[in-house]
Amino acid sequence: MSENPTTTDGAKERVVLAYSGGLDTSVAIGWIGERTGAEVVAVAVDVGQGGEDLEVIRQRALDCGAVEAYVADAREEFATEYCMPALQANAMYMDAYPLVSALSRPVIVKHLVRAARQFGATTVAHGCTGKGNDQVRFEVGITSLAPDLKCLAPVRDLALTRDVAIEYANKHQLPIETTKHNPFSIDQNVWGRAIETGFLEDIWNAPTKDVYSYTDDPTYPPLPDEVVITFEQGVPVAIDGQAVTPLQAIQEMNRRAGAQGIGRIDIVEDRLVGIKSREVYEAPGAMALIAAHTELENVTIEREQARFKKTVGQRWTELVYDGQWFSPLKNSLDAFVADTQRYVSGDIRMVLHGGRATVTGRRSEQSLYDFNLATYDTGDAYDQSQAKGFIEIFGMTSKLSAARDVTFGNGVDLGAGKLTAGA
101 annotated active-site: no
Beta bridge partners, 150, equal 123
82 is in an annotated binding site: no
Instruction: Say which of 73, 185, 307, 380 is annotated catalytic.
Output: 185
Q: Distance (Å, rounded) from C-alpha 191 to C-alpha 54?
A: 19
23 is in an annotated binding site: yes
Q: Is 350 exposed, middle or buried (0-12, 13-18, 19+ CB in 10 A)?
A: buried
Side-by-side strand order, sheet with 123-125: 68-73, 39-46, 14-18, 123-125, 150-152
345 is in an annotated binding site: no
213 annotated active-site: no
Instruction: Say which of 14, 24, 101, 104 is annotated catalytic.
Output: 24
24 annotated active-site: yes
How remote is the C-alpha of 175 from its chain's centroid? 33
21 is in an annotated binding site: yes
Start-end of H helices in 146-277: 154-157, 162-171, 246-259
20 is in an annotated binding site: yes
22 is in an annotated binding site: yes
220 is in an annotated binding site: no
25 is in an annotated binding site: yes
Strand ranges (E), 111-233: 123-125, 150-152, 185-189, 192-196, 225-232
Give whole-number Cα distances, 268 to 271, 279, 300, 337, 362, in Å: 9, 6, 34, 28, 34
Instruction: Say which of 105, 256, 264, 356 is annotated catalytic.
Output: 105
Instruction: Say which of 75, 101, 134, 193 is annotated catalytic.
Output: 134
18 is in an annotated binding site: yes
CB 278, CB 196: distance < 8 Å: yes
70 is in an annotated binding site: no
219 is in an annotated binding site: no
| Residue (of 161, 108, 159, 105) closest to 133 by Cα position | 105
339 is in an annotated binding site: no
24 is in an annotated binding site: yes
Start-end of H helices in 341-395: 371-374, 387-394
Binding residues for ATP: 18-26, 127
Binding residues for L-aspartate: 129, 133-134
> Which residues are part of the catalytic machinery?
24, 105, 134, 185
Annotated binding site: 18-26, 97, 127, 129, 133-134, 137, 185, 269, 281
